[in-house]
Amino acid sequence: PASCTSVTSSRPASPNQGDTTTPTPHTDSPGITGPTVLQHALQKKRKRKSLPSVDGGGEGGPGGEGDGTERTTPRQTGSLAAPGTHDDAITRMKNVELIELGRHRIKPWYFSPYPIELVTLPCIYICEFCLKFIKSRTCLERHLTKCNLKHPPGNEIYRKSSISFFEIDGRKNKVYAQYLCLLAKLFLDHKTLYYDTDPFLFYVMCEADGKGYHIVGYFSKEKESSEDYNVACILVLPPYQRKSYGKLLIEFSYELSKFEGKTGSPEKPLSDLGLLSYRSYWTHSILQVLLTVRGGGEEGEPPSITINEICEQTSIKKEDVISTLQSMNLINYYKGQYILCLQKDLLEKHQKELGKRIIRIDSRCLHWTPKDWSKRSK
């Protein structure tokens, strides 16, 4: 058998059954089985559909859903949807001790509703190509002799060096998409798994070698988003974290938005870590544009650019551009107009960060045509 690399979690431990800080009646051991939690999630989904407004809207999500008015826009949640605040403690208890994915052994961080007969085992074995979950190494080896996949299903739309991206339709490849959601749930907190993958596209990033294409991470996006969201959920698997792959996924999502000719934004609200990653990407993208403008201005004339022009060049949504400029203290009001002031230390930090990023998305290697999902069956 192939040697496995153990990966230790760098995240805080998820809540456990012995945690007495949050009283949770009816959380005896039979209550946290996979089928029970799945049934619990489906009941909540039906409940959301029947209610005119979203429960617990005080989190400050977009659209002002917390005022009790009926929501007229489509749902604003992704393939792993943000739950309520009071009845989801059961789904945040870690229930899987260990998974083996390819050459990596990984300790999960959070709950995922894998079948109860697998959850009780010391390790769940997952095929790294089709993501099917298997109960033993012997069964995995037998499965690998029959599994004809060496890469994710769907279309390979990007390849440069050893990095590839595959586009997977949640309707055409439903089983793979559901397996991907189950795997992702092990490393995403405050999420409830839904099996309705039809309205979503999944973009899976892989590292290629002689044995096949090994999954590194992914992001999902809605085929049609009323809020112009270009990312619903995003994840880099633990063995590949701290290698700038997160920024690469974010950059790729905006490259798709550029091909579509529109601005995009990640689904809100962002987690604290998600906001840090996106704020870093937005900062560097905006600074690149500003430096280009500064270097290309006419002699004797101060360079000028509008917020809308920044949005057009980066495909970053206007609100995100403004919030990023404000967070960097770049925007000032002077003599009746807004001016941008670039500090030397900020530029030095920007150049240093860019020097660390060896892997970047090359738009010339992206072979993809946007689809108009409103004119076709989803």
Strand partners, 209: 212
Contact 213, 198 (CB under 8 A): no
Please give the single-letter amino acid code of residue 16. Answer: N
Contact 134, 143 (CB under 8 A): yes
Residue 158 neighbours by CB under 8 Å, 6+ apart: 164, 165, 252, 361, 365, 366, 367, 368
Strand partners, 6: 105
Among candidate residues 141, 207, 267, 319, the one labeled active-site is 267
d(CA 113, CA 19): 20
| Residues counted in the chain | 378
Query: What is the secondary structure of 316-378 as a DSSP string?
Result: B-HHHHHHHHHHTT-EEEETTEEEE---HHHHHHHHHHHHH------GGGB------GGGS--
- Catalytic residue flag (residue 267): yes
Q: Which residues are catalytic?
A: 267
